Structure 1
């Protein structure tokens, strides 16, 4: 290949997947507590990349609007409805008596919602081809494997490992906790803010790692399955009840699309992980069993159930649009239930739109599986649905939208589900977001012939 042709191909690859790779790097490699000092909570590198993604997406569609009917319209409409509902909640907050602290968090909360939209919409409309979707899936799995490996290393060494690192221009919130302990075992957090967030993230990504390992490849068997094994082990050593429940639900959804023999192999693999943990970490299985046996007397469970009457009092004062997203500060109470918190902050309207977004994303993945005749794409679609089911279930166990990594991964998976549906349903038929090489090959039709 001559130099000019090589440069043209390189330029053609600088698309949405390239930007999302930068987003993944800032989300997983940079510890979540690190921010650009003067910007405060708005200074997280991943947050800034997500906001830039929204600006890029908007600029692209002002210049070259999408053809009518191309893409997963229910998901796009649900994302728009959610944005409008959160904006209405912001207006409601600004028109009531509000403290300066609540006002500041409300403004940051609105920007945060826009950053979620940037990630979801850029992914949904920007992934140009099946090859680039495969590249994105691989990079997401690698990011999850990194997080799982780091968490396992923290568990084994009892050292955060990442706290000794300093990045130029970034400062950390030293008030955030380090490694936690539960029943005598270290609870890793990777580069997330909290062990619960760590467990939630790898639970969402575990199904995708399994589908990635299943696809035909020249890679050695061990290398293909290493990411899934590391994430599975990470779920166990997170000592998180919510992570175990969400991972279990996600695996059930994944297995629902398999043949009986493959399901039996999955059950054997899960059993193998627990056997390995029982041998390598004496007492761990007993600790995990205790999380569920003693759940009725657990303080964290009592805190969740005790929040319902408290939340109802606030809900009654603003039932439709709430008191304003991100204005119910942790100093008031921590609900450990994102749906309950949404009911207070954005009301019934906001909660319904969030549920609509989650359902639309899962439905897009389900429709993709029904449309495609390609078994690899079908399994990826099932894995995306499983990850979204696990993430949606997890929001009932912790205030997930307060954690940047978990929320970023969830909206990335939503965008990927929509993008895969678009590619399968309509083919590679619309302009990519980013530079386009005029000499690039013609779009490839979808595997189902559409």
Structure 2
């Protein structure tokens, strides 16, 4: 999808021939903004802007990234009304997953607002719908607007760089107990809550970088870590500079460690389980050696940190945080039974008024009903299937490896949704929608490559005349 226009011709002046498009190439030389440009801007703002910052003067709590997401939705709608801006159209499993989830939320919104709602719940439902539209817009823009491998690579690399930046911010918070985000308040924005990005868990410090909570920071790092490693290995394989991408990988991994998040570890284990199924033994052993080396460095650099992670799992069944997360399940089950299929209405379970459930599946069942839970799972599964299909369709090693990587990364939100109320956190939710769109975009690229190969191999496009072998 191209954003911007180029003249298709000019009228004849004084008998001279009309100016052709080719004659204007020099006047319009240079890169032009496209869907990837908007998505890159969205990702960088999403990751590097403190989560507590919202736009001043609006009746809803809207982040700068959400504004870009709504712009993306408008641009996507405009491109779908034309056939000249280069946006993809037609079926795509990732796109269908996004639409299904939006439809489930829209139906639930109508069901919930069909009867009286207190003003606070109504306002929250409106805000939820707005944020969903912003996330939907950026997901669709990436899926249908990022049409080439170069632009998709640029988008994903921007996400990796953003992950490295917040890794550095998290490292400063952890090592120096200094919250740099308090100095990152930009003009036109205000804090929606007190900026608390450094937490204490027993005797161990936990940090959130620019996100709303260490769990969110850890899950985001787990999602970006395999993508960073993919580009580091690819750069080395094709003879490009690769140390910068290994540095980003290390910074993202360091950020995940400093989050001290059990959810991040579980997400990374799920991702690794899928990745190793498609890796050669050589790559598996290399990855294992790098993991051992990284953990050894972390043990020396931050004594006691690895022991804390071990304790998180060794004391799993006696951990007070686990007991707190499960003590309110009876309340949740009772509420789910009251609105079993469609839920009580998206966003109407107002957290300051009602109990907070640290389980997104349970929260989705309350908001959208059991149908909504199934569709939520289908949306994330659609991204996984799109990545796997891209891997199977393509003969390009880079596309095949990236397809496996993106499919594996989509397991992180599926796993972590069971450990915290993921959709209540804007940064990880926005990143999830971007990556679902990226899975769809990669599938389109793989299909184009496959169609091009089949066309080149067809008899009608052979390089010479067909020989009649009967003569």
Equivalent of residue 439 in structure 2, options 398, 417, 434: 417
Structure 1: 5+ residue stretches without partners:
430-444
Query: 2:287 — aligned with what?
Result: 266
The answer to whether the 8 Å contact 2:386/2:439 transfers is yes
Normalising to structure 1: TM-score of the pair? 0.91
Deviation at 1:22, TM superposition (A): 1.3
The answer to whether the 8 Å contact 1:24/1:143 transfers is yes
The answer to whether the 8 Å contact 1:183/1:287 transfers is no
In structure 1, what is the Cα distance between the partners aligned to 2:179 and 2:256? Answer: 17
Equivalent of residue 116 in structure 2, options 97, 101, 104: 97
Instruction: State how 1:360-399 maps to structure 2 within 5 Å.
Output: 360-399=382-421
In structure 2, what is the Cα distance between the partners aligned to 1:166 and 1:114? Answer: 25
Closer, same or farther in 2 for the Cα pair 1:403/1:183, shift >3 Å? same
Deviation at 1:186, TM superposition (A): 2.0
Deviation at 1:320, TM superposition (A): 1.2
Query: 1:357 — aligned with what?
Result: 379
In structure 2, what is the Cα distance between the partners aligned to 1:286 and 1:235? Answer: 15
Query: 1:240 — aligned with what?
Result: 261
1:8 aligns with 2:28: yes
Closer, same or farther in 2 for the Cα pair 1:428/1:345, shift >3 Å? same
Closer, same or farther in 2 for the Cα pair 1:269/1:99, shift >3 Å? same
In structure 2, what is the Cα distance between the partners aligned to 1:261 and 1:123? Answer: 33
Deviation at 1:115, TM superposition (A): 1.1
DSSP 3-state at the match of 2:230? helix
The answer to whether the 8 Å contact 1:90/1:325 transfers is yes
Instruction: State how 1:319-334 maps to structure 2 within 5 Å.
Output: 319-331=340-352, 332-334=354-356
The answer to whether the 8 Å contact 1:71/1:426 transfers is no
In structure 2, what is the Cα distance between the partners aligned to 1:346 and 1:65? Answer: 38
* Greater RCO (Cα-Cα under 8 Å, separation 6 or more): 1
In structure 1, what is the Cα distance between the partners aligned to 2:316 and 2:30? Answer: 54
Pick which of 175-184 and 198-207 moved more. 175-184
The answer to whether the 8 Å contact 2:93/2:440 transfers is no
1:182 aligns with 2:204: no
Closer, same or farther in 2 for the Cα pair 1:206/1:73, shift >3 Å? same
Query: 2:270 — aligned with what?
Result: 249
Query: 2:339 — aligned with what?
Result: 318
Equivalent of residue 184 in structure 2, options 165, 172, 176: 165
The answer to whether the 8 Å contact 2:359/2:417 transfers is yes
In structure 2, what is the Cα distance between the partners aligned to 1:354 and 1:390? Answer: 14
In structure 1, what is the Cα distance between the partners aligned to 2:351 and 2:373? Answer: 19
Closer, same or farther in 2 for the Cα pair 1:347/1:235, shift >3 Å? same
Query: 1:434 — aligned with what?
Result: none
The answer to whether the 8 Å contact 2:393/2:450 transfers is no
Query: 2:299 — aligned with what?
Result: 278
Query: 1:303 — aligned with what?
Result: 324
Closer, same or farther in 2 for the Cα pair 1:68/1:29, shift >3 Å? closer
Equivalent of residue 82 in structure 1, options 82, 101, 119: 101
Instruction: State how 1:133-212 maps to structure 2 within 5 Å.
Output: 133-212=152-231
In structure 2, what is the Cα distance between the partners aligned to 1:340 and 1:64? Answer: 42
DSSP 3-state at the match of 1:328? coil
The answer to whether the 8 Å contact 1:374/1:447 transfers is no
Deviation at 1:9, TM superposition (A): 3.9
The answer to whether the 8 Å contact 2:49/2:184 transfers is no
Query: 2:311 — aligned with what?
Result: 290
In structure 2, what is the Cα distance between the partners aligned to 1:82 and 1:44? Answer: 22
Pick which of 175-184 and 136-145 moved more. 175-184
Closer, same or farther in 2 for the Cα pair 1:183/1:217, shift >3 Å? farther
Closer, same or farther in 2 for the Cα pair 1:63/1:69, shift >3 Å? closer
In structure 1, what is the Cα distance between the partners aligned to 2:66 and 2:144? Answer: 20
Deviation at 1:255, TM superposition (A): 2.4
Pick which of 331-340 and 66-75 moved more. 66-75
The answer to whether the 8 Å contact 1:424/1:448 transfers is no
In structure 2, what is the Cα distance between the partners aligned to 1:155 and 1:41? Answer: 32
1:59 aligns with 2:81: no
Closer, same or farther in 2 for the Cα pair 1:266/1:7, shift >3 Å? farther
Deviation at 1:45, TM superposition (A): 0.4
In structure 2, what is the Cα distance between the partners aligned to 1:232 and 1:68? Answer: 35
The answer to whether the 8 Å contact 2:169/2:209 transfers is yes
Structure 2: 5+ residue stretches without partners:
1-21, 458-471
| Residues 106-125 of structure 1, C-alpha deviations (whole Å, 9 max, x = no match) | 00011111111101100000
Query: 1:435 — aligned with what?
Result: none
The answer to whether the 8 Å contact 1:336/1:399 transfers is yes
| Residues 82-121 of structure 1, C-alpha deviations (whole Å, 9 max, x = no match) | 1111111111111233211000000001111111110110
In structure 1, what is the Cα distance between the partners aligned to 2:389 and 2:450? Answer: 17
